[in-house]
Amino acid sequence: MSEQDTKERILDAAEQRFARDGFHGTSLRAITAEAGANLAAVNYHFGSKETLMAAVIDRRLAPLNRRRSECLEAVAAAARKENRPPDVRGVLRAFIQPTLDFRGSCPGAEAFVTLVGRALVQPDDTLRVFFQKRMEPVVTRLFESLAAALPALPRQVLFWRLHFMLGAMSHTLCWIDRAGRAAPAGLEPSADAETLSDLLLDFLTAGMESTS
């Protein structure tokens, strides 16, 4: 039970709880109880509840966004090489696929993805600003790639479409594991990652390319 073990167990438990009950709905006591750690350990290792949340986000978001940037760069490079604009679906996939892949990559990632989905609409200012700062570089890169793929589209329109896309995506991430419960008529939601990725890309690509 070394220092790092405790620290990581707290991060794991916090990830689960924050995703399930939200920031304000989760107490440090609930987190430490689930982690089998002492209440004081949180402040010792992380300083405060807010910095704990920041650490939870950073641990997973940094590598995820690195992967997203790599994929976006690969799509852009391929387009440059062939001297053509990148294709919309390829750009969108470069942003979305790493997220869905990541979901199955390690235990806890599922909860984290829910957390990310919620962070976009979180009321708490501190956390939202923190999260936005971490997302800004890769979102800017996504915006520029889409602008290159859709040169005729006014940037204001693209800006809003990007918002629509992020909304569809974050909502999906939040609901991916309980969409079945909301099915209107006994529909099997069939939420395997690959199918869902295709469905989302079909929808978003068409929306992005809309000319009406």
Partner DNA sequence: GTCTATATGCCGATAGAC
Partner DNA sequence: GTCTATCGGCATATAGAC
Residues in the chain: 212
Is the distance from CB of 144 to CB of 73 less than 8 angstroms?
no
> Is 152 one of the binding residues for its own copies (CB under 8 A)?
no
If the CB atoms of residues 31 and 41 are measured against its own copies, the closer one turns out to be 31
Tokens 């829910």 sit at which residue?
114
Query: Which option in its own copies, DNA, none does residue 186 bind, with CB closer than 5 to 8 A by kind?
Result: none
Least distance from DNA to the Cβ atom of residue 191, Å? 32
- Tokens 């923190």 appear where? 130
Give the C-alpha separation, 170 to 130, whole Å.
Answer: 17
In the bound complex, what is the minimum distance in angstroms from residue 16's beta carbon to DNA? 15
Among residues 52, 166, 164, 169, which one has the least CA distance to residue 100?
Answer: 169
Residue 37 in tokens:
């750690």
Figure out which of the listed residues 8, 22, 30, 67 binds DNA, where binding follows CB under 7 A: 30
Of 9 and 141, CB closest to DNA: 9
Instruction: Give per-residue burial for 185-200: e unless 16+ CB within 10 Å, then b.
Output: eeeebeeeeeebbeeb
Q: Using the rule CB under 8 A, is 126 a contact of its own copies?
A: no
Spatial separation of the C-alpha atoms in residues 147 and 120, rounded to whole Å: 22
From the list its own copies, DNA, none, pick the one residue 38 interacts with, judged by a Cβ distance below 5 to 8 Å according to partner type: DNA
With respect to its own copies, which residue has the nearer C-beta, 82 or 188?
Answer: 188
Provide the binding-site residues for DNA, judged by CB under 7 A.
Answer: 1-3, 5-7, 26-30, 37-45, 47-50
Provide the binding-site residues for its own copies, judged by CB under 8 A.
Answer: 19-22, 24-25, 117-118, 120-124, 132, 139-140, 143, 155-157, 159-161, 163-172, 174-175, 179, 182-185, 187-190, 196, 199-200, 202-210, 212
